[in-house]
Chains A and B, each alone.
Chain A
Amino acid sequence: MSVRTELPETRVETPKRRRTPPPLLVHALAALGALAVIVLLTLVTDEFTNLRIATIGYYLIAVAGLTLLTGLTGQVSLGHGAFMFIGAYTVALLVRRVPTFPLWADLLLASAAGGLAGLLAGAAAARLRGPYLAGATLALAVGLPALTRKFPDFLGGSNGLSFTVHSRRAGAGVPELRWQTWIVWLSVLLALVLVVNIVRGRLGRNFRAVRDDEVAAALSGIAVGRTKILAFLVSAVCGGLAGGLQAFLLGTAAPGSFTPALSLSLLAAVVLGGLGSLWGALWGAVALVYFQAWSEDLADALHLNTDVANNLPLAVYGVILIVVVLAFPRGIQGGFHRLGVLLRRSAKQKENHEKH
């Protein structure tokens, strides 16, 4: 057994500390800042780039949820696309059947539906570990979209459902996609504020404790099973919201969009971005959208034979994943972190050098 040489820093509540603003306030302000950045970004880019920015948004919240589950609690899920499926179909059905519901209610219900599914999946998952859990969640991703075939009249069969979501006041003066991008990011940032607070709070500490050593966690009074289920719940709420936002943005919900490949690429994005870091979720989501687009452009530019061109994007993604993980085992965020440490160290050395 290894002996920890570093003792965790013990927090001493001092009057000075109490004056620091509450974390929720800090995070909400940060989110407002981020929203301002997104709005600026959408104003200087064209409409199609807006769509890509919005796509990054909903992938971000899905990957963030999975990061919380896999990176923080150590439960590997190969079926996260299933929660997106639930969210997307919830929004689709609400828009079609209850058109008077406002969009925010649709999105809340999509998150709730995802969360409910996550609660059930989590209750089963809490008893499983490692490969067994991975297998069970993969079954979810494979099996759930098949529901559409069982109820073709209600869920539209393999064809899925298509609809138009109206969220914009008539004559709002903003292009539709730009407006949608704002809504997507507003919802994503709101959800992220909650996720960050969970991660930084007591529940987040419990998550990490369960991940590091279940026995030790149980001995220190953490209800291991309940913590695991909670992680699944929060993560599935994020997945449901992501799916709901996708449906809102694209106006479609079809089983062909929620294949096991989606779940696997979400997990790959978690690893690529940085396991266990919410900033990593952002890099993972960006990679998911842009690596694909770039490698497709590359394949186009090279005028490759179609068989090669078709497989190039996946191959490029795989190579990037391997290289990043070899170079920075903690993903892109780990790489940035290391870079930051190096820069600070060299700055300090320079400073010291100048002093002497």
Chain B
Amino acid sequence: MRSTELGAGFFALVLALTACGGAGESDGGGQQAADSAVGVTKDAVVIGTHQPLTGPAAPGYSKISVGARAVYQAINDGGGINGRKIDYRVEDDGYNPTKTVEVVKKLVLQDKVFAIVGGLGTPTHSKVVDYLNAEGVPDLLVSSGALAWDNPQKAPMTFGYQVDYTREGKIQGKYIKDTFAGKKVGYFTQNDDVGRDTQAGLDQFVKDQAVVRQGYDSANTDVTPQLSALKSAGAEVVVCACIPAFTALAILAAAKIGYHPQFVVSSIGADPATLSGLLQDFAKRGGASVSSGQLLAGLIGTGYLPDVAQTSDPWVAYFKGIHDKYIAKEPFTNTVLFGMVQAYTFGQALKAAGPDPTRQKVVDAMSSGALKGPGLTPFGFSKESHAGYTGAYVFKINPDTSTTVIQPPAVTDRGTGAITPYSGERATPEQVNLVSK
């Protein structure tokens, strides 16, 4: 029969077209010339980012790009970097990896960005690292503490930003071991690299104390079963490696079942101002009103940037000035500050790349080790390491939701190295002098 022959012929065509070796075999993708300066014109530099403006991670994180945009506006109003204004394009990926791949390709192919700065999220960003490196696009200051970004051999264009989850887990673990010796510890972690990498750090110190491990998935906002399991296992200290929405949900779920453990929360979800907003918002949706001060008082968290409540800190004062000028209506939270520091750090790298920036020059500037960030611990950037902030301090939330540092900054590595106090000097905003105001 002719029709079957034709069908077979048609099918053979597909086989011929796709039979170029195995689908998973590498046939060597050419890295584009790194001296390219795509996205750089005489008076502008186009950069892009992917952020969860909607979806499960949006509560809290949607404000990061607001803070970053304010800093870029301040830079532009101050004449830009080497005379070039920064054109910041924010794409919403809804914390959905498929969408991330799509919007990042849009930024690279259609908007022709010079670099991706601060792409947010582990499950999302991990899907575009290969692509960005194959295309030779600088992938700077990834908003995630996964270890995956610190891999200069495999991903030479990718740089971390936050303290990685293992370093943070080690600092938390040591603090718990020293302060809550003998108490039962429970882990409540996100079911991805956030959880895995954090536990790798915690386990170095409190493996014996850990009696229960519970995970959550960002698609499911009901965490009562996990909190009940933590309660019934008798965990007195609960380490929460959670994004802000899930820190708030965990606190509310614990309160609902009459469970009052000592929460120890990672920097990604321990911003008091963001948490109070979320607690009130979620409680209101559930038809209740809560005192966020009461719920948050005593909560222990880790951080590496100065707290927005420390108004005497020169960097906090500097960013507060930008905040008041450009985004006065937004609450000045640590999450907003996170975006501001990130934008400022990119500004430093771009400036260090010189008057004729290329993609390679900005990558060299990032790995030069010269970036003096506003953070309280130093960056780990060098030729061999693409790790962001290398340590953290421990703080406690007061009843008025201000914070008190209870253990000064300490730095460590991602392996089994020691945790050592850090007392290096930070450059002041005047010394860095990025923008002439």
A residues lining the B interface (CB < 8 Å): 22-25, 28, 31-32, 46-48, 51, 55, 91, 94-96, 98-104, 106, 145-146, 149, 152, 157-160, 162-170, 177, 182-183, 186-187, 190, 193, 246, 248, 250-252, 254-257, 259, 296, 306, 309-311
Tell me whether A104 and B127 are in contact (CB under 8 A): no
A179 to chain B, nearest CB (A): 9
- The distance from the CB of A32 to the nearest CB of chain B, in whole angstroms, is 8
Partner of B23, one of A32, A47, A166, A306: A166
Q: Are B217 and A252 in contact (CB under 8 A)?
A: no
How far does the Cβ of A322 sit from chain B's closest Cβ, in whole Å? 22
Asked if residues A102 and B21 are in contact (CB atoms below 8 Å), the reply is: yes
Residues of B at under 8 Å CB distance from A? Answer: 1-4, 6-7, 10-11, 13-15, 17-29, 53-54, 58, 62, 66, 92, 95-99, 101-102, 105-106, 109-110, 122-124, 126-127, 129-131, 134, 190-193, 196, 215, 217-219
User: CA separation between A104 and B14, bound complex, in Å?
Assistant: 8
In whole angstroms, what is the CA distance A165 to B18 when docked?
Answer: 12
Contacts of A169 in B (CB 8 A): 20, 27
Residues on A with beta carbons closer than 8 Å to the beta carbon of B102: 51, 55, 250
Are B2 and A149 within 8 A (Cβ)? no
Q: 15 extra interchain contacts, Cβ-Cβ under 8 A, other than A162-B127, A166-B29? A: A22-B1, A24-B6, A24-B7, A25-B3, A48-B110, A100-B22, A102-B19, A157-B192, A158-B218, A160-B127, A186-B13, A248-B23, A254-B123, A256-B124, A257-B97
Residues of B within 8 Å of A103, CB to CB, are 18, 23
Residue pair A250, B24 in contact (C-beta under 8 Å): no
A149 touches B191 (CB 8 A): yes
State how many angstroms separate the Cβ of A45 from the closest Cβ of chain B: 11
Q: How far is the CB of A163 from chain B (nearest CB, A)?
A: 7
B24, B28, B54, B110: which contacts A100 (Cβ < 8 A)? B24
Q: Determine the chain B residues whose CB is within 8 A of the CB of A94 once the complex forms.
A: 23-24
Tell me the complex Cα distance, A231–B141, Å: 49
Q: List 20 A-B contacts (CB under 8 A).
A: A23-B3, A28-B3, A48-B106, A94-B23, A102-B23, A104-B19, A149-B191, A149-B215, A157-B191, A157-B196, A159-B122, A159-B123, A164-B134, A166-B21, A169-B27, A182-B17, A186-B17, A187-B14, A251-B131, A310-B58
Q: Is the CB of A160 within 8 A of B123?
A: yes
A46–B109 Cα gap in the complex (Å)?
8
* Residues of A contacting B122 in the complex (Cβ-Cβ under 8 angstroms): 159
A190 cross-chain contacts in B, Cβ below 8 A: 10-11, 14
Contacts of B26 in A (CB 8 A): 164, 166
Checking A31, A145, A167, A250 against B98 with a beta-carbon cut-off of 8 angstroms, the contacting residue is: A250
Q: Does A158 contact B6, Cβ atoms closer than 8 Å?
A: no
Given A100-B24, A168-B20, A252-B98, check contact A28 B6 (CB 8 Å).
yes
B123–A158 contact, CB under 8 A? yes
Are A159 and B192 neighbours in the complex by a CB distance under 8 Å? Answer: yes
